Homo-oligomer: A and B are copies of this chain.
Amino acid sequence: MKKSLGANTIVPTTPVWVVGTYDKDGKPNVMTAAWGGICCSKPPCIYVSLRKATYTYGNIVERKAFTVSIPSETYTKEADYFGITTGKKVDKFAATGLTPMKSDLVDAPYVKEFPLILECKVLKIVEIGLHTEFIGEIMDVKADSSVLNEKNLPDIEKINPIIWNAAAMTYHKVGKGVGQAFSIGKEI
């Protein structure tokens, strides 16, 4: 018999994604979101869900573009900072010493020091409730050579991304591999 925990959003696993935008004056901003994911393969799309109160919300509505920069574990502290401060009041790049890079494909900046980034144009805006979902078409994925394997694919252990654990409000590493997909299930 399972125990009811009520209607909440404490559900593993969610990513730690850093959303990059420009404000109306061209100031680069970043915020951390755990409510993001892949939502279509053709065209390739991701979404991020944001409250209207965030600075990033207005920036995306204005510029119709955003990036996602995936922090490696090394940058857990910076990722947390990006989530607890607002671009309305601080210059988050200046405060952390990280570098905003202008995307050459979309009207948004990404974090140079983070190993994997996505450049997105807004395809759809879905009003849900407190949160609005921005669905962005991925124009390109870019990665540091240091995180690519021999097939030029990003290696999750080299990226060393972090995961958001809502229940305990902690960040976690990705652990060891436990099986090959489209393969181990064939034993059944």
Contact = CB atoms under 8 A, between A and B. Distances in A.
Contacts of A145: 3
Contacts of A46: 9, 11
A45 B8 CA distance: 8
A43 interface: yes
Contacts of A183: 80
A8 to B, nearest CB: 6
A124 B126 CA distance: 9
A148 B6 CA distance: 14
Interface of A: 2-15, 34-47, 49, 68, 70, 73, 76-85, 95-96, 116-118, 123-124, 126, 128-131, 133, 135, 137-145, 148-149, 152-156, 159, 161-165, 167-188
